[in-house]
């Protein structure tokens, strides 16, 4: 008798969904204790639609094939010293930011999805999270391996793990993921699974990987291609999560909307560094930040929110501010890093004349009016041998932890400051968005480990900033950082190319 053929859905149900059972001996609530405290109501986990129906044997098979190809490229890259094929040694600073700022987030994503992959009461949702957890571990490890070769030939990669836990600007991405992981399991899924993976990933992952492709970095771009099918799975999970929550109970809508408001704002703040990378750090440009924002957020995100409107979900709060920010944030951020270039873990520089023209062309409304004059001044000072570094330490926003570098969007000459008082203490913010987030969960955000506060409180060694940079951050001051011009990275590059 020939066995009947099972369709994928039934097969997945039998192989996976049917593994769990109703408890008789232990308290199931105690086994899955974190489902209630956020106020989310799940009435029926069985309504969960599996976003992908992959069994482990297939997972191992596909992923092993991808890994085999990827590592073959890494080996060839190292064997042929392919770091010499990058467009310009300035490019390498973009992937220094990636390894110190983004790869550790992949690790936190592994941990976060391992947590939800254990804690969700529904087996379908759990298993989908578990696979994403494993994928995220893949991403951090393959990124480390992709950068391993660069680390051998360029400065600034070597202390990525130590730096991620301590350095002032790296607390921006670190606190973002700490915030998501310390939240309840459902907020984590809306923060990372939906807001980040489904909408904002295109603005993080794609620019870095396309930047690698345009700048001759075969190791990083191959990783990017290899991770693409993982990311596609993650996006379907993110979308399923939000639909599931919204369909489970109408009371969930308001909670989910609040999380969307929070995480899109936090996400747009986090992406400032990508904006800067795209506009200033890629010698061969992919597109401007403004263009990327329009394509990936305004068009793609706009269509998504139109779809979600039927559940009563609207565009994230402050979308109109975010729309204006695309004209400004990359310029404001790179200027901040340029002037704090002695305290960064990578090199900074003045854009070339060609690059300044490109920026003028891409930002006709703002660049010449507000930002070009600064660079012209910086050029003059540099020509006189007075390359400018600011002496002070920046004040940080309590929520996003970015220095107060953003301006009012209606008046780009005016720095944007907000503040609020909680338990008799005053807290400072870069924006209404960040202030709102604080005011909604002050007991959480008063805990922020703000690097500049910590320095002033004497918790990071010192007393001189130089000691903090070298002893506490493990930066080789003058080698890993300062201007690209005259840096050891640049000198070595010239030697390799025979132009010294």
Task: Kindly identify the residues of this chain, within the stretch 70-99, that bind another protein according to CB under 8 A.
Answer: 70-71, 79-81, 84
**Nearer CB in complex with another protein: 17/328:** 17
**Nearer CB in complex with another protein: 262/326:** 262
| Whether 252 contacts 245, CB under 8 Å | yes
Q: State how far the Cα of 295 lies from the Cα of 290, in Å rounded to an integer.
A: 9
Q: State how far the Cα of 315 lies from the Cα of 331, in Å rounded to an integer.
A: 26
Q: How far is the CB of 26 from another protein (least distance, A)?
A: 4
Task: Kindly identify the residues of this chain, within the stretch 24-63, that bind another protein according to CB under 8 A.
Answer: 24-27, 30-31, 33-34, 37, 55-57, 59-61, 63
Q: State how far the Cα of 192 lies from the Cα of 329, in Å rounded to an integer.
A: 23
Q: State how far the Cα of 433 lies from the Cα of 264, in Å rounded to an integer.
A: 10
Task: Kindly identify the residues of this chain, within the stretch 156-215, that bind another protein according to CB under 8 A.
Answer: 157-162, 164-166, 171, 174-175, 178-179, 181-185
Q: How far is the CB of 159 from another protein (least distance, A)?
A: 5
Does residue 111 bind another protein (CB under 8 A)? yes
**Across-strand partners of 422?**
425
Residue 269: what are its φ and ψ, rounded to 5°? -65, -45
Indicate which single residue of 45, 154, 264, 371 sits in contact with another protein (rule: CB under 8 A): 154
Q: How far is the CB of 111 from another protein (least distance, A)?
A: 6
Does residue 347 bind another protein (CB under 8 A)? no
**Nearer CB in complex with another protein: 146/292:** 146
**282: Cβ–Cβ under 8 A, 6 or more apart, which residues?**
91, 94, 211, 214, 215
**Nearer CB in complex with another protein: 114/300:** 114
**Nearer CB in complex with another protein: 69/314:** 69
Does residue 284 bind another protein (CB under 8 A)? no
Q: How far is the CB of 93 from another protein (least distance, A)?
A: 16
- Residue 105 has, within 13 A of its CA and on its CB side, a CA count of 23
Q: State how far the Cα of 47 lies from the Cα of 245, in Å rounded to an integer.
A: 10
Does residue 16 bind another protein (CB under 8 A)? yes
**Nearer CB in complex with another protein: 252/407:** 252
**Nearer CB in complex with another protein: 30/411:** 30
**27: Cβ–Cβ under 8 A, 6 or more apart, which residues?**
none
Pick the stretch among 11-19, 41-49, 373-381, 412-420 that binds another protein (CB under 8 A).
11-19
DSSP 402-470: -BS--EETTEEEEE--EEEEETTEEEEESSHHHHHHHHHSHHHHTT---HHHHHHTTBTB-SSHHHIII
Interface mask toward another protein for 114-153; x: CB under 8 A: xx-xxx---x--xx--xx-xx--xx-xxx-xx--x--xxx
Q: How far is the CB of 325 from another protein (least distance, A)?
A: 24
Does residue 393 bind another protein (CB under 8 A)? no
**424: Cβ–Cβ under 8 A, 6 or more apart, which residues?**
none
Interface mask toward another protein for 458-497; x: CB under 8 A: ----------------x-----------------x---x-
Neighbours of 100 (CB within 10 A): 24
**428: Cβ–Cβ under 8 A, 6 or more apart, which residues?**
395, 396, 397, 398, 404, 417, 418, 419
**Nearer CB in complex with another protein: 360/476:** 476
**113: Cβ–Cβ under 8 A, 6 or more apart, which residues?**
129, 130, 132, 133, 136, 192
Q: How far is the CB of 476 from another protein (least distance, A)?
A: 10
Q: State how far the Cα of 441 lies from the Cα of 154, in Å rounded to an integer.
A: 42
Q: How far is the CB of 375 from another protein (least distance, A)?
A: 31
Does residue 155 bind another protein (CB under 8 A)? yes
Does residue 253 bind another protein (CB under 8 A)? no
**Nearer CB in complex with another protein: 208/472:** 472
Q: Print burial letters for 25-56: b (CB count within 10 Å at least 16), e (below 16).
A: eeeeeeebeebeebebebeebeebebbbbbee
Q: How many residues bind another protein (CB under 8 A)?
A: 99
């Amino acid at each position: 008798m020939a066995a009947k053929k099972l369709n994928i859905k039934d097969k997945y149900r039998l192989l996976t969904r049917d593994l769990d059972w109703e408890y008789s001996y232990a308290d199931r609530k105690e086994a899955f204790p974190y489902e209630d405290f956020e106020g989310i109501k799940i009435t029926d986990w069985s309504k969960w639609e599996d976003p992908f129906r992959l069994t482990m044997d297939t997972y191992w098979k596909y992923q092993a094939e991808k890994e085999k190809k990827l590592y073959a490229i890494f080996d060839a890259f190292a064997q042929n010293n392919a770091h010499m094929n990058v467009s310009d040694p300035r490019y390498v600073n973009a992937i220094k930011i990636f390894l110190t700022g983004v790869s550790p987030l992949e690790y936190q994503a592994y941990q976060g999805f391992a947590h939800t992959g254990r804690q969700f009461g529904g087996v379908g949702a759990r298993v989908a999270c578990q696979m994403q957890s494993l994928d995220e571990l893949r991403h951090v490890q393959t990124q480390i391996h992709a950068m391993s070769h660069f680390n051998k030939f360029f400065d600034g990669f070597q202390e990525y793990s130590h730096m991620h836990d301590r350095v002032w600007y790296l607390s921006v991405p670190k606190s973002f993921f700490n915030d998501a992981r310390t939240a309840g399991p459902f907020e984590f899924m809306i923060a990372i699974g939906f807001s980040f993976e489904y909408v904002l990933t295109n603005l993080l992952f794609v620019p870095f990987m396309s930047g690698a492709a345009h700048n001759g970095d075969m190791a990083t771009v191959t990783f990017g291609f290899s991770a693409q099918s993982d990311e596609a799975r993650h996006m379907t999970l993110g979308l399923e999560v939000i639909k599931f929550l919204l369909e489970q109970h109408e009371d969930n809508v308001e909670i989910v909307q609040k999380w969307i408001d929070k995480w899109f704002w936090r996400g747009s703040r986090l992406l400032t560094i990508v904006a800067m990378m795209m506009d200033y750090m890629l010698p061969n440009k992919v597109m401007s930040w403004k263009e990327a924002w329009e394509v990936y957020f305004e068009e793609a995100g706009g269509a998504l929110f139109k779809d979600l409107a039927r559940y009563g979900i609207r565009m994230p709060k402050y979308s109109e501010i975010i729309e204006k920010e695309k004209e400004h944030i990359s310029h404001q951020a790179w200027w901040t890093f340029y002037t704090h270039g002695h305290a960064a873990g990578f090199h900074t520089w003045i854009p070339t004349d060609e690059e300044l023209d490109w920026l003028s062309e891409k930002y006709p409304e703002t660049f010449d009016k507000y930002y070009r004059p600064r660079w012209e001044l910086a050029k003059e000072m540099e020509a006189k041998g007075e390359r400018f570094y600011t002496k002070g330490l920046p004040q940080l926003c309590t929520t996003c932890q970015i220095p107060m570098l953003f301006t009012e969007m209606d008046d780009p000459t005016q720095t944007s400051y907000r503040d609020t008082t909680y338990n008799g203490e005053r807290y400072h913010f870069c924006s209404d968005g960040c202030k709102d987030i604080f005011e909604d969960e002050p007991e959480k955000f008063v805990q922020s480990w703000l690097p500049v506060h910590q320095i002033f409180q004497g918790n990071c060694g010192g007393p001189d900033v130089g000691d903090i940079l070298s002893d506490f951050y493990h930066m080789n001051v003058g080698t890993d950082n300062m201007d690209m011009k005259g840096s050891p990275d640049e000198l070595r590059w010239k030697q390799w190319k025979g132009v010294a």
